[in-house]
Every structure is written in structure tokens, then in C-alpha cells.
Amino acid sequence: MTHSLSTLIQQTYDSALKNGDLLFFEAEHAVKDSNGIKFEITYAPTLAQKPHHESAGTDDNKKKAKINPFLPPHPALKVKDLDEHTVVLNKYCVVPHHALIVTKEYKSQTQPLFPEDLAATWKCMTTAYGYTPAMAFYNCGPYSGASQPHKHIQILPLLKEQPQPPIKALYNQIQERKAGQIYVLDKLPFVHVMTPLDRSFIDSCSDNPEPLGDYLGQMFFGLLDAMFQQMRKHAEPSRETSYNFLMTNDFMMMVPRSSEIANMNGLQVSINSLGFAGMLLVRTLEELNTMQQYPDLLELLAQVGFRWNPDAEPDVEQ
């Protein structure tokens, strides 16, 4: 009997949680509105017990010598083998059923996503949680908030009633959206690019990974090229490229990174892709209170991205 991916994730999660192979951290949730985005702030105090890993850096040989939790993945966390990837559960989770799509062979988290990565991600993202929508994200490079140097994409279910992820509230405001067109949003004070996806085409080839991967790869690299164009206009060249990538059923988004850590009134907060989706994580009550009182969470994100250069030529699409 062949089980669906959602059933396998549920069964693997229940078993790993029961046996102590997976740790679920209870959390409290708060909402703070910043310029039309209802940021979700997750307060998980017991997450502070999680062992800290180095961020994905540039010295791959040094990091490969460290323990790699994905080579091989823990048997109790392994959900399913794909052609070139393995679906595993996140050992330390704040959201139940948080899954990772990991390359079977070691590849660096500083690489872009290729068609085979994106096809596997799309198939998992759209089937992992039954009828519940999901989001995929990728932390690329040393300043992206990545915690492991082995290439992995993450997927989370989107469970709330409001626009999900919260950044979608601004995406929904784009008038007469066109698939494949690159957009930037006036309300975001940092360099970013976003493109709607052609769901009709994707659905027409959903059972054929090659055209699916080719299309998603074309969208990804078009977005990456547009990001570099924006960087040339608005920021000093960087020797080490880092960015966060988000993908939902509707759009892709990419944000270049200048730093992993934001300074929040003297407190240091690590931010990864989820921050730009509108989801922020804190581990202490002090961080929670400070974030709730922080005047503008978009300005917090701008600290770790690149601010727009007011003297640059304006973009056609806004």
C-alpha cells in the first residue's frame, strides 16, 4: 500500500515525537501590524535549549568535517526518499510537521536552487499537508540565517485565517498581476524582488517533474538576476552573496542579505527567510516585549537586508 506524503509525515512525526527523536517546543503567539503586514511573533522560551550551530559559511571543507545531520539523516526523522532528495522532519520544531527537503549527496547551502530542487520542493509543498497550504523557504549563504551548510529547503504548513504568509497581504495589493513579471513593493524599505507564478501551467505539468522543474528554475533564476540588478543599483558589491527565498502556491520572493543579526534596542535577533515572510521568532520574554514595542518591524528587517538607494533610478514596476 502506498501512503500519501501527508500520511507519511503525520506517522513519522507522531512516532518520532513519542520516542523522543523529535522535540516540539510549545510557543505563544502575538500579532503586530507594520505597514499593513500582520507580523506573527512566535515566543518559544524552551527553544533556547536547542544546541546552537554555526551559520552556513564559506569554508565548506571545514564544515563538512563537522557532524552532518543529513548524511545520513536520522532514521526516525526520515519520511521518504525522492530521486535526488530525501524528505526528513526538523528535529527541533515550533510548528508541527516542519519538514526539510535535503539533497542526498552533500551540496552547499551557498548554491542556488536548481530545477530538480525546485520540482521536488513544489511536489512536497503542495502535497505535504493535505488540503492545508504550505510555504517553502531557502536560506542561502553565510548571512541568510542558515543553520546547516548541507543544502536543504524547508516547508511549513500555513494554518492561520489571515493572508498566509503575512507578506501575502502586500502581494495581494499588486494590481493586475502578471505571471513572470518582476515586482517590487513600495511599502518594503529594503531591496527585494517578487514574481507571481503561472498556476495554470504548473498544474498542467504537475505530474511531469522535468517541465515543472524547467519552469520553476526559469522563474527562480529570473528572480535571482533581477535581485542582482537591484543590488547593482542600490548597494555596494558584496563578496559573499546571501539571500532568502520564499515560495508559496502563488508567488516567489527573494531578499538579499547584508547580515544575519538585527539589533533590536541592544538585543541581537537572528533572522532567516521566515522574517521576510512576516514570521519572527523570539526565545526570551525580553525579546518578545521589545519586539512588540518596536516601532516598525520592517525597519528591523531593513537592518539585515539592503535599504533602497533614494538616488537610484526608479523601477518601472512598483
153, containing H or E segment: strand 152-157
Q: Count the neighbouring beta carbons within 10 Å of the beta carbon of residue 104.
A: 15
49 SS3 class: helix
Q: Which residues are known to be catalytic?
A: 152
Distance, CA of 270 to CA of 45 (rounded, Å) = 15
76 SS3 class: coil
Asked if residue 84 lies in contact with residue 116, where contact means CB atoms within 8 angstroms, the answer is yes
**What is the Rg, in whole angstroms, of the alpha carbon atoms belonging to the chain?**
19
What single-letter DSSP state applies at residue 18? H
Distance, CA of 69 to CA of 211 (rounded, Å) = 32
- Which residues contact residue 243 at a Cβ distance below 8 angstroms, ignoring those fewer than 6 apart? 140, 141, 144, 224, 227, 254, 255, 256, 257
Backbone phi and psi for residue 253, each to the nearest 5 degrees, phi listed first: -145, 145
Grid cell digits, residue 13? 512525526
Asked if residue 180 lies in contact with residue 202, where contact means CB atoms within 8 angstroms, the answer is no
Asked if residue 193 lies in contact with residue 167, where contact means CB atoms within 8 angstroms, the answer is no
222 SS3 class: helix
